[in-house]
Amino acid sequence: MAAHLLAWGLLAATTVTGQQYDSGTRDADAFSYVQPRNTTILGPYGHSPAVYPSPNATGSGGWETALVQAQDFVAQLSLDEKADMVTGQFGPCVGNIVAIPRLNFSGLCLQDGPLSIRVADYASVFPAGVTVASTWDRQVLYERGFAMGQEFKAKGAHVALSPVAGPLGRSAYSGRNWEGFAADPYLTGVAMEHTIQGHQDAGVQATAKHFIGNEQETQRNPTFNSSGTVTDIIQEAVSSNIDDRTIHEIYLWPFANAARAKVASFMCSYQRLNGSYACENSKALNGLLKEELGFQGYVMSDWGGTHSGVASIESGLDMDMPGGLGSYGTNVKAGSFFGGNVTRAVTNGTLDESRLDDMIVRIMTPYYWLNQDQDFPSVDPSSADINTFSPRSSWLREFNLTGERSRDVRGDHGPIIRRHAAEATILLKNKHNALPLKAPKTIAVFGNDAGEVVTGPLNQDVFEYGTLAAGGGSGTGRFTYLVSPLSAISARAQQTGTKLVQNWLNNTQIVSSNVSDLLAIPTPPEACLVFLKTWAEEAADREHLNVDFNGAEVVESVAAFCNNTIVVTHSSGINELPFANHPNVTAILAAHYPGQESGNSIVDVLYGDVNPSGHLPYTIARNGSDYNAPPTTAVSTTGRYDWQSWFTERLEIDYRYFDAHNIPVLYEFGFGLSYTTFNLSNIAIEPLVDSIPSAPESLPIQPGGNPALWEPLYNVSVSVTNSGPVQGAAVPQLYVTFPDSTPSGTPPRQLRGFDKVLLDKGESRTVSFELMRRDLSYWDIVSQEWRIPEGEFVVRVGFSSRDLREVVRVTPVSS
């Protein structure tokens, strides 16, 4: 957490003297380079074209009435009040906009994060993003988003700093991949959409973060010298250098779903993008987000991600977080680029007041649209006590904290969390049907992930003993309880009459001993359950892909004695699994970070109360060294702008890379077993429109972009049958191969549809997938349009990216 604090603690005040545009060189073609350039040519900034002015909100897409209310509100504000509306203040929540009592505006409370309202007591900890993405279930994604939204609202938080589409998962090592969903833009896009709808249907504003290119933690912020002022930057944050096509087809894609779902806000990310900070990158904020995607809400900075005043404002930034005017605690150098500087910039004519008005209209439109002006709960005062980021001593302004304290907002969410995490559990291996357990007479439990956390606060750090149910940093949660696997297994064993022979939770001891000596019993238990964990946190990338605490050696040691070794991983995501083909390792379950009901969820799967139906949202390679696109972990030169991360793999992240290079993998993207089996048959494709031109009709932009891109062009149907012994849920997945005429670099197969269907034994159902124009288009860097290429598409449906069973071909555009 220390690094997290540091991330925004080093803000510095500066006066705004004039416009500082993105680039000295205004290279119009810059967004389309792919090859690294010499940094002397690159210059301090310079490869992100300037896009000005920042577009005004119109309320299009259903916010028209709310926009008028927001405009009325803005019309009543003084200039100082306007500056307050766009500038965070230290206060009870992670982010705060102060109240204006004379207008009955009680301020805005912004709270983390993507799996829980973190700065709160008596709140639930839900499964992490990567976990819930593994369900491939739209209903689950929505239910979770809605339940989370209810808790944020009941605690008085207007804005949830959730969900995450950046990082997307370019690199296996990124410390925050688990906060987001999947290493695939399509699945992440669907997850964004349903989570946002859930949050906002519960009355809370959602925040799509971190926009954009935030694919590593290392050097996500500048390095300052010890005095910590903005002028004392030693090296700027890393620059994610991404070409135009890749931005559109990979990293922007899920954010387009977010804009289409009418997300209230976007959070711009810490790092630089093509040379200029993401929070002052006019191409990204004005160009991609507000023009191309027609985003109608507001852009807030990540905490301390603002690096200029007017330059950021003109580039599209609408709210500075966490802000602060003048000083933060005793560090008088820290402060805000906004606040009083905004007032000054308007007064001296540097900043046109109409831009400031648009910023506030954008902030207040979703507020009115979600009826947050009517009976919204007050901020729970207990949040203020727990908020270590801005303790009371740092507050410069007044906050009304007279509401009910320590509200229990958990409702009936425990059973929902239990069900969601069970449905997210991925069965990777199940030799001889080792699972589900069939009332074994004896069980032994191994591994430091099995038991209660006994050495420190839950999930605030990587503690040796205790189960892991969430990662670390701003995206974690404060557990009010956590059901450990060991306690849930013990309870279940009592019910089924199973003897829990022994538990060995000290990994060092297991690895350094002979397990038959440890157990000192003549024959192995009927099942040996091994629980492994892998920690990841904000502000640090992972250093390796092993399971932590010698987990692989623990499995080897147990499996040397026990011929029915069942492994469960609680992990942030990608791990090397060197024991996967060990003959005595009969089953492997990837449970990721399940949230507070962890033990109950895994017991439900182990005993077959829930038939596993999770599927991998990324690829597990045979060797860690098989992954491409590592983070940039160091630079050998000391120049201020030398941290560069070149996304030269372009579209080839995760399975797109493994497939393009025919690299064998251990478990491919989309893979997951069940206690039953499924078949597919009768694929068919049917056009939904008469003719399909290559370019979309140019329709007025709506949230999500040109509506023509979202128009369904084909319906693909396929019959799914449960051919096995028990009820279970199948996840049919549709992958598209583009025609040869598509520009080079197009991945061999890309996910463009999926469904989840529960089937009784022997039951068949037809599922259908709508292919939209966007699904069949590539981003043409020349015309700056999405285009459907000429020639034949191959559409395949299967149960993973490498288990494709049905195929159909179609030629939308012929030459």
Tell me the catalytic residues.
302
Q: Which residues pair with 239 in a beta bridge?
A: 272, 644
Task: Write out the binding residues for ligand BGC, residues 667-706 only, by CB under 6 A.
Answer: none
Distance, in Å, from the CA atom of 78 to the CA atom of 325, rounded to the nearest integer, reads: 17
Closer to ligand BGC at the Cβ: 197 or 390?
A: 390
Cβ atoms 742, 789 nearer than 8 A: yes
263 binds ligand BGC (CB under 6 A): no
Q: How far apart are CA 724 and CA 578, in angstroms?
A: 30
Taking the complex as a whole, the smallest distance from the CB of residue 324 to ligand BGC amounts, in Å, to 14
Q: Give me the least distance between CB of 631 and ligand BGC, in Å please.
A: 16
Our CB check for ligand BGC shows the closer of 233 and 518 to be: 233
Q: Which two tokens stand for residue 424?
A: 């997210």
4 binds ligand BGC (CB under 6 A): yes
Whether 192 contacts 207, CB under 8 Å: no
Q: Which is nearer to ligand BGC, 161 or 587 (CB)?
A: 161
- Within 50-79, the residues that bind ligand BGC by CB under 6 A are none
Where do we find the tokens 């069942």? 566
Any residues with CB less than 8 A from the CB of 398 and at least 6 apart, and which?
Answer: 98
Q: Measure the CA–CA gap between 197 and 209, rounded to whole angstroms.
A: 15
Q: How far is the CB of 4 from ligand BGC (least distance, A)?
A: 6
Question: Taking the complex as a whole, how short is the minimal distance between the CB of residue 265 and ligand BGC, in angstroms?
Answer: 11
Helices (H), 276-406: 282, 310-315, 340-347, 353-369, 381-386
Binding flag, residue 474, ligand BGC (CB under 6 A): yes
Structure tokens at 662: 């025919």
| Minimum separation from the CB atom of position 270 to ligand BGC (A) | 6
Candidate residues 22, 27, 84, 112; the one interacting with ligand BGC per rule CB under 6 A: 112
- Please, what is the minimum distance in Å from the beta carbon of residue 94 to ligand BGC? 5
Task: Select 209 or 787, whichever has its Cβ closest to ligand BGC.
Answer: 209
Segment 356-415, which members bind ligand BGC (CB under 6 A)?
none
Q: Considering the complex, state which of residue 115 and residue 554 has its C-beta at the smaller distance from ligand BGC.
A: 115
Span of 4-12, 345-353, 564-572, 713-721 interacting with ligand BGC by CB under 6 A: 4-12
Should residue 320 be labelled a site residue for ligand BGC when binding is judged by CB under 6 A?
no
Q: How far is the CB of 220 from ligand BGC (least distance, A)?
A: 8
Alpha helices (H) in 123-181, listed in sequence order: 129-133, 138-154
* Number of residues binding to ligand BGC, judged by CB under 6 A: 11
Could you tell me which stretch among 2-10, 409-417, 560-568, 672-680 binds ligand BGC (CB under 6 A)?
2-10
Token code pair at residue 595: 């949230």
Based on the shown chain and the rule CB under 6 A, indicate whether residue 192 belongs to the binding site for ligand BGC: no
| Site pattern 270..309 for ligand BGC (x: CB under 6 A) | --------------------------------xx------
Looking at the Cβ atoms of 31 and 337, the one nearer to ligand BGC is 337
108-111 and 95-97 as β-strands: parallel, antiparallel, unpaired?
Answer: antiparallel
Nearer to ligand BGC, 31 or 303 (CB): 303
Smallest distance, Å, CB 712 to ligand BGC?
34
- The Cα–Cα gap between 521 and 250 comes to 54
Closest CB to ligand BGC among residues 208, 252 = 208
Instruction: Compose the 77-106 pattern: x for residues touching ligand BGC by CB under 6 A, - for all others.
Output: -----------------x------------
Exposure of 18 in the CB half-sphere (CA atoms within 13 A)? 0
Using CB under 6 A as the criterion, what x/- string covers residues 142-171 for binding ligand BGC?
Answer: -------------------x----------
Q: Quick one: which segment of 3-11, 363-371, 428-436, 459-467 binds ligand BGC (CB under 6 A)? A: 3-11
The CB-of-475 to ligand BGC minimum distance in angstroms stands at: 6
CA gap 348, 90 in Å, rounded: 27
| Phi, then psi, of 96 in degrees rounded to 5 | -140, 135
Contact segment (CB under 6 A) with ligand BGC among 1-9, 180-188, 366-374, 765-773 equals 1-9
Write down the least CB distance from residue 601 to ligand BGC, Å.
Answer: 26
Tokens 């894609």, residue located: 253
CB of 35 to ligand BGC, least distance (A): 30
Query: How far, in Å, are 168, 306, 647 from residue 247 at the CA level?
Result: 12, 22, 10
Under 8 Å between Cβ of 767 and 718: yes
- According to DSSP, the β-strands at 499-504 and 442-446 are parallel
Ordered DSSP codes for 241-297: E--HHHIIIIISHHHHHHHHTT-SEEEE-SSEETTEEGGG-HIIIIIIIIIIS---S
Q: Interaction with ligand BGC in 481-540: which residues (CB under 6 A)?
A: none
Rounded to whole angstroms, the Cα distance separating 174 from 164 reads: 13
**Residue 346 and residue 356 in contact, taking contact as beta carbons nearer than 8 Å:** yes
Residues 196-215 that bind ligand BGC (CB under 6 A): 209
CB-nearer residue toward ligand BGC: 66 or 317 = 317
Which CB atom, from 8 or from 146, has the smaller least distance to ligand BGC?
A: 8
**What is the rounded end-to-end Cα distance, in angstroms, of the chain?**
57
Nearer to ligand BGC, 112 or 380 (CB): 112
Task: Say which DSSP state 673 is in.
Answer: B
Cα–Cα distances (Å) from 281 to 347, 393, 603, 667, in that order, read: 25, 34, 48, 38
Beta bridge partners of 276: 273
Q: Which residue is nearest to ligand BGC (CB)?
A: 474
Contacts of 650 (CB under 8 A, 6+ apart): 34, 243, 245, 246, 745
Q: How far is the CB of 9 from ligand BGC (least distance, A)?
A: 10
The interface mask with ligand BGC, positions 548-567, x = CB under 6 A, is: --------------------
Select from 688, 707, 685, 693 the least CA-distant residue to 768. 685
Nearer to ligand BGC, 394 or 474 (CB): 474
Distance from C-alpha of 327 to C-alpha of 345, rounded to nearest angstrom? 20
Q: Which residues bind ligand BGC (CB under 6 A)?
A: 4, 7-8, 94, 112-113, 161, 209, 302-303, 474
